[in-house]
Amino acid sequence: MANLRRICEQELAGQYALEIIDVLENPQLAEDEKILATPTLIKQLPPPLRRVIGDLSDTEKVLLGLEVRPQASAQTPPRDS
């Protein structure tokens, strides 16, 4: 959680909306979203839908996965919300 807040603040300051759900309290939501692992980070917008599981300690991988930072060889400019 600390990792997530740090990443959000550092990389996406002011450009994000974050909702935190406790699956133990709301298992039906986990069922609907077909979530297996905790913690799971779901990036709903902008598309494409992406999921990152784990404590997000590997910041580079998180950013790569969320496509909020240009990949080394990628042509597309960074997209953010």
Partner 1 sequence: MTTDDTSLSPVRKLPTGIGSFDVIAKGGLPVNRTTLLSGTAGSGKTVFAVQFLAAGIQQFDEHAVFVTFEESASDIRTNMRSFGWDLAQWEREGKLSFVDASPDPHIEVIESGAFDLGALLARVQNAVKKVNAKRVSVDSLGAVFSQFSDQSVVRRELFRIAWALKSMGVTALLTAERTLDYGPVARFGIEEFIADNVMVLRNVLEDETRRRTIEILKFRGTDHQKGEVPFTILPGDGMVVIPLSAIQLKQKSSNVRTSSGNAELDKMCGGGFFRDSVILVSGATGTGKTLTVTQFLNGGAAVGEKCLLLAFEESREQLFRNAIGWGVDFEKLERDGMLRVICDYPEVATLEDWLLSIQKIVEEFKPSRVALDSLSALERVGTIKAFREFVIGFTSFIKHKEITGLFTSTTSSLMGGTSITEGHISTLTDSIILLRYVEMFGDMKRGITVLKMRGSAHDKGIREFNIDKDGMHLGRPFRNVTGILSGAPVHVSPADLERVWSQYDAEVSDRRRGSRESESGERRRGSERRGSASS
Residue 36 within binding range of partner 1, rule CB under 8 A? yes
Helix (H) or strand (E) holding 12: helix 2-12
Return the amino acid letter for 18: L
Map the footprint of partner 1 across residues 1-30, applying CB under 8 A: 3, 23-24, 27-28, 30
Q: Give the angle subtended at the CA of 12 by the CAs of 8 and 16, to the nearest 5°.
A: 80
Smallest gap from residue 3 Cβ to partner 1 (A):
7
- Residue whose CB is less far from partner 1, 7 or 14: 7
- Residue whose CB is less far from partner 1, 14 or 60: 60
Q: How far is CA 13 from CA 4, 6, 17, 67, 68, in A?
A: 12, 10, 10, 16, 12
- Site of interaction with partner 1 (CB under 8 A): 3, 23-24, 27-28, 30-31, 34-40, 48-59, 61-62, 64-65
